[in-house]
Structure 1
Amino acid sequence: MSPSAVPDWDDTPIRPPNADEQIGWAGVPLSETLGYYGVIKRPQLPTNDRLGFKPDYASVDVNNLVSQFIVPFGKSVEQQDVNAIINHIAEDGYWKDVELLTWDIRTLTGHDNISAMLTERLAVTGIKNLRVSPYIPSSLEVLGEDLSFVLFHFEFVFAHGTGIGAARLSPIAARTGSAAELADISSWKLYSIGTAIETVDGWDAENGDKMRYQKAKVQDPLGRARTYRQLREDEREGRDGFQPTVVIVGAGHTGLTMAARFKVLGIPHLVIEKEDTAGYSWGSRYASLSLHGPTFTNHLPCLPYPQWFPTFLPAQQLSKFLQLYAEVMDLNIWTKTQLDGKGAVYDEKSGQWTISVTRGDGSKHVLHPKHLMIATGISGTLPNVPQVPGMSEFEQNGGLIVHSSRHKTDPAWKGKRCLVVGAATSAHDISYELVENGCEVTMIQRSATHVMSVDKSVRTLFKPRERTNRRDGLAADLMDQSNYLKQPFPVEYELLSRGQKIARDLDADLLQSLRDVGYRLHDGYHGGGAYSMFLFDQGGFYWDTGCCKLIAEKKIGLLHSEIEHFTKDGVVFKDGTSYQADVVVFATGYMNSKSAIQALIGDEMAKKCHERWEKGNAFFVGPEGESIINYCPLPQKGLYSMFHQFAFSRFHSARLALRIKAEELGIDVTPYGNKPLGPSNTAAGRAPR
């Protein structure tokens, strides 16, 4: 196929022809909604075109503006004057809340929705003493020649602890954007504001409460003179009547992060892991796997990585660190243990689960936690291996068929002909590894792929976060506060294309070299790159760590076809051409026909919790632009599901743990109601496989 026949930088290559009828709500154009999902309206950014003028941002004294704005705004909040608060917010502005005003993760859009939430929740929340954060400087945030915000962070106290926030101001009420107008705070409105819980009743999810929780010396509460090691062993093994308040299923980075929060907050916990070590899911993959997200964004709570660690951490090194993290943080983990999720029962009267677990030695244990958390990941555990005629004949004649999740390159394969089916991250990583081991490799690219370089684009776009946890940078928790509160996901989505324009310029030579050999490229939904696809599709992109050069130099062959059947020594494609192969690697993702709650506890519970996995909405993003499943209270009390990248898990694990701590302290954490959940059958209009 000629490269010119493939539309470039366009949604077309990743959008099915019948998208309006099959994906999302019928008749809703993709141009008006996020990703495939037809119920999340795309926001209108306050660009110069929309404002109707070019603001004189150079004249703005940011600190003076923020200090003037915060006084009347804070007074309105403290006095619970909803009308006055609304007057400070743009008509189509956003208020995102994480476990503070709403005891949930919510994004309210527009005056009516925000006003209704504030009217109901301000009185019980009791926010006071709202002030500019002394830790994060206010700034003029320039996001392009046509768009800037004044970004500031704030903190406050509320009825049960303290909170944090971040906000973006825009001169929406100005008429000309002159220096005189921009000096007047009445010209500015909040385009977005975010609030979140930071402490509850003196408890902090990063530091605990040393004054009340820790004693000067470790003592045996039962007076048996047990040493620290004996105390830890008895706690971990559940002796002496130990009963966890929280049971977490899964000891990957998400489950361990959550467990660490509970340890700090003094909440008894137990992690159930079916494999033999914590972090197994990372260490068990192909040997060359490295994280494509920079290490400085992936720090774990309480115990960050050493600064000398590689910028892109090898998965095996991460797995080792996770095992040590679990040990150092004194996390209670039962490995080689299975949960009988189908037998899990929640008693509404006692507020407890009854669950049965089977340990590696065959012993069965019945536990009664108040909270059950599923942290088994979003990628699924069932490899998607297409069933193609002739597979058995190929294998009987010495051929090897393997899925990327189980792939291990054998040095004895040198000189072997390897066919890799797929063209996203795993396919590229494995192809690169096979070439390094002397194999003859051909990749089958079945659909277009978004490509961005790690060494140039990723590092450039993540540059503002590179000094995280360093002397001249922000601490990870402060960086998270900014990243996850200054904007809800719909606004972030709308801004993604601006970063991708920078990436395209940086990667121009790389991308052209791929086009020259017929590699099919796309730029994500609405030009937003990988992250515009991640929450919806979870795949279809590759952050290049070297494989693209091998493809451009034709050291890795490239085909665009589908396998029709295997032969005794290779495959025949649907176009009639054939290929001889010794090894076929299916880098085709996971079946994901059952999502986390459904797979573990069953169909009825998944239905009750509105958990429906389907292509087009892998993270269960609801109409407000936030996940209706992830890190938030579910319709089934005492049940939680969690999955995401390191930084997201780091921030949201603290808020969710504080919510549970508040509940343990007897605080009413009933979520703010009327949460929109999307269509009643399947979120993207397609039944799950």
Structure 2
Amino acid sequence: MGETPVATASSTPEPQSPVEKPVVLEERAVDECRPVKVIVIGAGISGILAGIRLPQRIQNLDLVIYEKNPEVGGTWYENRYPGVACDIPSHSYQASFEPNPSWSRFYAPGAEIGEYWKHVAKKYGVYRYLQPSRKVLEAKFNDATSKWQLKIQKLETPNQEIFEDECDVLFACIGALNDWKWPDIKGLHDFKGKLLHSATWEDDYDYQEKDVAVIGIGSSAIQIVPTMQKKVKKIDHYARGKTWIAMPFASEFAEAKNPDGKDFYFTDADIQKFKEDPEHFYAYRRELEHELNSAHTITMRGSDLQKGAVEFFTENMRKKLASKPEVFDSLLPPFPPACRRLTPGPGYLEAIAQDNVNFISEEISYVTAEGIVTKDGKSRPVDAIICATGFDTTWTKRFPIIGREGRILAEKWKDHPDTYISIATDGFPNYFMSLGPNSGVGTGSLTIVLERVVDYVCKAVEKIQKENIRTIEAKASSVRNFQKYCDSYFPNTVFSMKCRSWYKGGTYDGKVSALWPGSCLHAERVLSSPRWEDWEYEYINDSDHGWLGNGWTMADVKPEADRAYYLEHGQVDMPPVIV
């Protein structure tokens, strides 16, 4: 038997210590804000807020806001159909920092809302950063440079020139309800009369004394019908779906109403009092928002408020449709209130009870050159067809958004749009969204949630600037965990019950993809306090200690700086004195 070899010093190599990279200090002060470029897509409410807060809070900022329309306003610029209005109280649909005491109505007309947000944009300098009539065609993340590269079309030029731009951070403020579509009805475009969609209304169309058809039973149709009913000869209202028509939300806060009870408004005396007595106005607004934010329990299955709403809304609908009980039977839903978007619809029930409105629940078969034919074979000629049939709510049919390693957002979201707290998703670094999937609120103030989203993005941009961060990206585990939370939350709500709703991407029983999983106040609190541990980071020069800079602060290197700033009067945090 051979001898076992004996290990010697010469035959066994010594373990080697890993080679440490030399420490190289970043040539920057610890609190220095490096230059950063942010591109905002869209100049609706979110884009306007971004155009205000980003320049206010971010130093060394290059900001561009691209908007496909020639003016700011988003949905309030695009939607100009008859009767378009806010369907929540006006005083809850404004910026927290720019209260408007002069709303003419409790549910302000769309044009008035559009003018308010134009005023806000002008007052706070948003137009300095706005590039209107610019349509984004593609946004692609460059892995090598960690920049977003965009292709943009100049819509107002004769040849609609396409150019490119790039940025460090991309903030999509494109909204959920602006990708309108025609309904899929055979022969629709063979119609020889006037064909209109509520989202692309032609202001110069005169519908007075016409026979018109209105297709749809969503919020737009519910506003169009009572407005047109007073002026047209006849309305054929095609409404296959069922829906709750709520009593106007918090209507006790409206100071007056028209004699017919259809519209709530503020008198000149009311508005003057709001203007002359800011404390009275402030108290009114707070009490109103308190009331609206107290309604969240209506969304919970089996709650007392939900049960009470069923009884109250049913009786209201039955009473106002007493002259047409068959319409009441067709309209009354089998699902609970708020399963689909709850609409107050002032004047709608009164309008469809009128003799010149023909409520048709029969399914449409096809459209001819003269009018509409239903499944029962009945043909109804009309002068105009108005499609109030909504928008594409699948979140995937916009321009291509291409993230890390060529991943396309539409493919990632083809089954279900997954996000981290509605503002980001994994695989798409330095990319944020406002009004993305799971961002809407079923009750309460949407505008305060939009403000908090913008606040969050401001904090993220500041973190990128000051902490030597090249990319910030929601962790895949954070996205999964938020989706697990949504899957646990929504079964307890009426939103997940069987009703066809854009909350669920237009399905009856799909996942709830449009709404925040909680109350308005829950969203406000979550978005107010970022959990930075839910994100992952890449650092400039791959230096995870680079945020420490070179040992200096900006106060050290600027001769004129105050180097005792921590003792500034009024800035010292004084603890209470205990006697």
TM-score, normalized by length of structure 2? 0.61
Residue pair 2:141, 2:402 contacting (<8 A) in 1 also: no
One-letter amino acid matched to 1:588: T
In 1: Cα distance, 2:385 partner to 2:233 partner? 12
Is structure 2 residue 172 aligned with structure 1 residue 374? yes
Residue pair 1:461, 1:499 contacting (<8 A) in 2 also: no
Residue pair 2:420, 2:474 contacting (<8 A) in 1 also: no
With over 3 angstroms needed to count, the CA separation of the structure-2 counterparts of 1:493 and 1:280, relative to structure 1, is closer
C-alpha displacement at 1:502, in angstroms?
4.5
* Residue matched to 2:116: 321
Residue pair 1:273, 1:337 contacting (<8 A) in 2 also: yes
In 1: Cα distance, 2:283 partner to 2:147 partner? 40
Residue pair 1:477, 1:651 contacting (<8 A) in 2 also: no
In 2: Cα distance, 1:374 partner to 1:524 partner? 37
In 1: Cα distance, 2:414 partner to 2:284 partner? 36
Q: Return 512-521 or 665-674, whichever deviates more.
A: 665-674
- Alpha-carbon RMSD across the aligned residues, in angstroms, is 4.3
* Residue matched to 1:311: 106
Q: Secondary structure of 1:245's partner?
A: strand
Q: Secondary structure of 1:288's partner?
A: coil
With over 3 angstroms needed to count, the CA separation of the structure-2 counterparts of 1:313 and 1:268, relative to structure 1, is farther
Q: Deviations over 1:163-200 (max 9, x none)?
A: xxxxxxxxxxxxxxxxxxxxxxxxxxxxxxxxxxxxxx
Is structure 2 residue 510 aligned with structure 1 residue 510? no
With over 3 angstroms needed to count, the CA separation of the structure-2 counterparts of 1:481 and 1:581, relative to structure 1, is closer
* Residue matched to 2:133: 336
With over 3 angstroms needed to count, the CA separation of the structure-2 counterparts of 1:447 and 1:353, relative to structure 1, is same
After the TM superposition, which residues 629-644 of structure 1 pair with which residues of structure 2 at under 5 Å, given as runs?
630-632=422-424, 634-643=426-435, 644=440
* Residue matched to 1:291: 86
* Residue matched to 2:409: 606
C-alpha displacement at 1:633, in angstroms?
5.2
Q: Deviations over 1:510-566 (max 9, x none)?
A: 3113372423345685x3x23x434xxxxxx53211121111344422111122123
Residue pair 1:243, 1:368 contacting (<8 A) in 2 also: no
With over 3 angstroms needed to count, the CA separation of the structure-2 counterparts of 1:386 and 1:294, relative to structure 1, is same
In 1: Cα distance, 2:398 partner to 2:461 partner? 20
Is structure 2 residue 48 aligned with structure 1 residue 256? yes
Q: Secondary structure of 2:380's partner?
A: strand
* Residue matched to 1:68: none
* Residue matched to 1:562: 363
* Residue matched to 1:548: 349
In 1: Cα distance, 2:286 partner to 2:40 partner? 23
With over 3 angstroms needed to count, the CA separation of the structure-2 counterparts of 1:258 and 1:498, relative to structure 1, is farther
* Residue matched to 2:227: 433
In 2: Cα distance, 1:477 partner to 1:336 partner? 38
Of 251, 274, 279, 1:471 maps to: 279
In 2: Cα distance, 1:584 partner to 1:546 partner? 21
Higher alpha-carbon Rg: 2
Is structure 2 residue 148 aligned with structure 1 residue 353? yes
C-alpha displacement at 1:570, in angstroms?
2.2
Unaligned residue ranges in structure 1 (runs of 5+): 1-200, 203-211, 214-241, 535-540, 615-619
Is structure 2 residue 393 aligned with structure 1 residue 578? no
With over 3 angstroms needed to count, the CA separation of the structure-2 counterparts of 1:313 and 1:282, relative to structure 1, is same
One-letter amino acid matched to 2:449: F
With over 3 angstroms needed to count, the CA separation of the structure-2 counterparts of 1:655 and 1:572, relative to structure 1, is same
With over 3 angstroms needed to count, the CA separation of the structure-2 counterparts of 1:514 and 1:496, relative to structure 1, is farther
Q: Secondary structure of 1:373's partner?
A: strand
In 1: Cα distance, 2:413 partner to 2:241 partner? 28
Is structure 2 residue 327 aligned with structure 1 residue 533? no
Residue pair 1:421, 1:427 contacting (<8 A) in 2 also: yes
Residue pair 2:401, 2:409 contacting (<8 A) in 1 also: no
In 2: Cα distance, 1:560 partner to 1:316 partner? 32
Residue pair 1:374, 1:596 contacting (<8 A) in 2 also: no
One-letter amino acid matched to 2:133: K
* Residue matched to 1:272: 66
Residue pair 1:283, 1:319 contacting (<8 A) in 2 also: yes
C-alpha displacement at 1:311, in angstroms?
2.2
With over 3 angstroms needed to count, the CA separation of the structure-2 counterparts of 1:386 and 1:297, relative to structure 1, is same
With over 3 angstroms needed to count, the CA separation of the structure-2 counterparts of 1:481 and 1:663, relative to structure 1, is farther
In 2: Cα distance, 1:651 partner to 1:479 partner? 20
C-alpha displacement at 1:256, in angstroms?
1.4
Q: Secondary structure of 2:340's partner?
A: helix
C-alpha displacement at 1:670, in angstroms?
6.6
With over 3 angstroms needed to count, the CA separation of the structure-2 counterparts of 1:581 and 1:492, relative to structure 1, is closer
One-letter amino acid matched to 1:471: E
In 2: Cα distance, 1:478 partner to 1:665 partner? 40
One-letter amino acid matched to 1:401: L
In 2: Cα distance, 1:277 partner to 1:377 partner? 16
Residue pair 2:211, 2:232 contacting (<8 A) in 1 also: no
Q: Secondary structure of 2:359's partner?
A: strand
Of 384, 387, 391, 2:182 maps to: 384
Q: Secondary structure of 1:544's partner?
A: coil
Residue pair 1:400, 1:582 contacting (<8 A) in 2 also: yes
Q: Secondary structure of 1:312's partner?
A: coil
With over 3 angstroms needed to count, the CA separation of the structure-2 counterparts of 1:282 and 1:547, relative to structure 1, is same
One-letter amino acid matched to 1:288: G
In 2: Cα distance, 1:557 partner to 1:381 partner? 29
Q: Secondary structure of 1:450's partner?
A: coil
* Residue matched to 2:554: none
C-alpha displacement at 1:478, in angstroms?
12
Residue pair 1:249, 1:373 contacting (<8 A) in 2 also: yes
Q: Deviations over 1:586-607 (max 9, x none)?
A: 2111234553666555994215
Residue pair 1:346, 1:354 contacting (<8 A) in 2 also: yes
Q: Deviations over 1:211-231 (max 9, x none)?
A: x99xxxxxxxxxxxxxxxxxx
TM-score, normalized by length of structure 1? 0.52
* Residue matched to 2:39: 247
One-letter amino acid matched to 1:560: S
* Residue matched to 1:56: none
Of 646, 649, 653, 2:450 maps to: 649
Q: Deviations over 1:89-139 (max 9, x none)?
A: xxxxxxxxxxxxxxxxxxxxxxxxxxxxxxxxxxxxxxxxxxxxxxxxxxx
C-alpha displacement at 1:418, in angstroms?
0.9
Q: Return 432-441 or 497-506, whichever deviates more.
A: 497-506
C-alpha displacement at 1:363, in angstroms?
6.0
C-alpha displacement at 1:440, in angstroms?
0.8
Q: Deviations over 1:49-87 (max 9, x none)?
A: xxxxxxxxxxxxxxxxxxxxxxxxxxxxxxxxxxxxxxx
* Residue matched to 1:401: 195
Of 464, 472, 486, 1:663 maps to: 464
Residue pair 1:353, 1:369 contacting (<8 A) in 2 also: yes
Residue pair 1:598, 1:606 contacting (<8 A) in 2 also: no
In 1: Cα distance, 2:187 partner to 2:279 partner? 59
In 2: Cα distance, 1:533 partner to 1:461 partner? 25
Residue pair 2:44, 2:73 contacting (<8 A) in 1 also: yes
With over 3 angstroms needed to count, the CA separation of the structure-2 counterparts of 1:649 and 1:461, relative to structure 1, is farther
In 1: Cα distance, 2:415 partner to 2:112 partner? 31
Is structure 2 residue 229 aligned with structure 1 residue 422? no
Q: Secondary structure of 2:344's partner?
A: strand
C-alpha displacement at 1:639, in angstroms?
1.2
Q: Deviations over 1:331-354 (max 9, x none)?
A: 21000112231xx33234543222
One-letter amino acid matched to 1:297: S
C-alpha displacement at 1:428, in angstroms?
2.0
In 2: Cα distance, 1:358 partner to 1:390 partner? 30
After the TM superposition, which residues 63-462 of structure 1 pair with which residues of structure 2 at under 5 Å, given as runs?
245-266=37-58, 267-284=61-78, 285-306=80-101, 308-331=103-126, 332-341=129-138, 344-348=139-143, 350-359=145-154, 360-361=156-157, 365-389=163-187, 391-392=189-190, 394-395=191-192, 399-408=193-202, 412-454=206-248, 457-459=249-251
